Amino acid sequence: MEAKRLQQESGPAKKQQGKKRFNIDLLRAEEDVDGLIEALQSDNGLTRQRAALALGDFGGAGAVGPLIQALGDPLTAVREAAADSLTLLEGAAVGPLVELIENPEASVKYEESPAPGGTATVTGPGGRTWEVETRRDLRRVYAAAILGEIADPSAVDPLVRALHDEHDDLRCQASGAIAKFGRRAVELLAKVLADPDPDVRIVAAGVLGDTGEASAVEPLIGALHDENDDVRGAAAGALIRMGDAAVGRLIDTTKDGDRNVRLYAAGALKYIGDPRAIDALRALALDEDKDVRSVAEDAIDKIQMVRGGMPAEPSPPTSR
């Protein structure tokens, strides 16, 4: 009888004080996917976290749904473990994650009971804190982040469409995810720069700068002509981040007929600090517009100062 009791307690799960306990090490060793999925429902947060991590190693397509459900877990550690495992599952996870960001109601299928009402404070990817009304919103934010890590080309279009979503945090996370696709995202984002919503154009300009792709320079130069001050500022800031890749086109742009464009070009060249721009900036220092002259003179001084070993703190240019 004693031997039988010990055998029962050494198995994958055991009862103690009416609660089921799980031996995650044994479940992992036996690659017991069903047992690990059951462990995701444990009342012990560490057990749920370890189960989520284990499923990323061998859970396969069958683990995707339970892990997406875990993205709504009350504990940050469990949510992040589930996100890490979904990233490891790669292709099996892409379709369901895309569905989450494209259809807000898709999250309902991962709820055993209705999500709690009212507003709750939760901590998500990167330690950011959000006020969300349902676990649905949190899952969608994680879905965008995970798709960026998986970097499957089929996710690019849905992520770009998510820039129009009404949920601010999803738009923010989608923009960061898109930047990780590099060249594949530039063409789509360039089209977004024509969106009627200036907020969407601002995000698109910022993401283009984050891609680091030389092909992003031309659409960003075009965005310096935008009718919205904030869009122009976002484009200028993005060109600054592009650094050397943007210098040649910015030099050409110092001759543009639009004073705002010349102003932003001079400011961007100032903060990039490339000495190749000196001649163009000297020509701008004779510009008919006093603000353009002022920024060009500041840019010349700054570049010469940096070349002398005294770098200045950069910040995006603004129109005057």
* Residue 276: count of CB within 10 angstroms of its CB: 14
Q: What is the torsional sign of CA 307, 311, 319, 206?
A: positive
Which tokens is 172 given?
């923010």
Q: What is the pLDDT along the chain (320 residues), one digit of tens a residue?
A: 334 333 333 445 544 444 788 999 999 999 999 999 999 999 999 999 999 999 999 999 999 999 999 998 989 999 999 999 999 999 999 999 999 999 988 888 887 654 444 454 555 555 656 554 556 788 999 999 999 999 999 999 999 999 999 888 899 899 999 999 988 899 999 999 999 999 999 999 999 999 999 999 999 999 999 999 999 999 999 999 999 999 999 999 999 999 999 999 999 999 999 999 999 999 999 999 999 999 999 999 999 987 654 444 444 555 44
Q: Are 298 and 285 in contact (CB under 8 A)?
A: no
Rounded Cα distance, 70 and 78, in Å: 7
Rounded Cα distance, 56 and 67, in Å: 9
Closest CA to 88 of 67, 118, 110: 67
Q: Where along the chain do its domains lie?
A: 24-152, 182-320
The length of the chain, given as a count of residues: 320
Rounded Cα distance, 120 and 84, in Å: 23
CATH topology (fold) of 24-152: Leucine-rich Repeat Variant (1.25.10)
- Provide the whole-model pTM: 0.76
Strands 19-22 and 129-132 come out as: unpaired
Please tell me the CATH superfamily of domain 182-320, with its number: Leucine-rich Repeat Variant (1.25.10.10)
Domains 24-152 and 182-320 share a fold: yes
Q: What is the torsional sign of CA 241, 208, 138, 125?
A: negative
Which pLDDT score is estimated for 75? 92
Closest CA to 238 of 276, 207, 200: 207
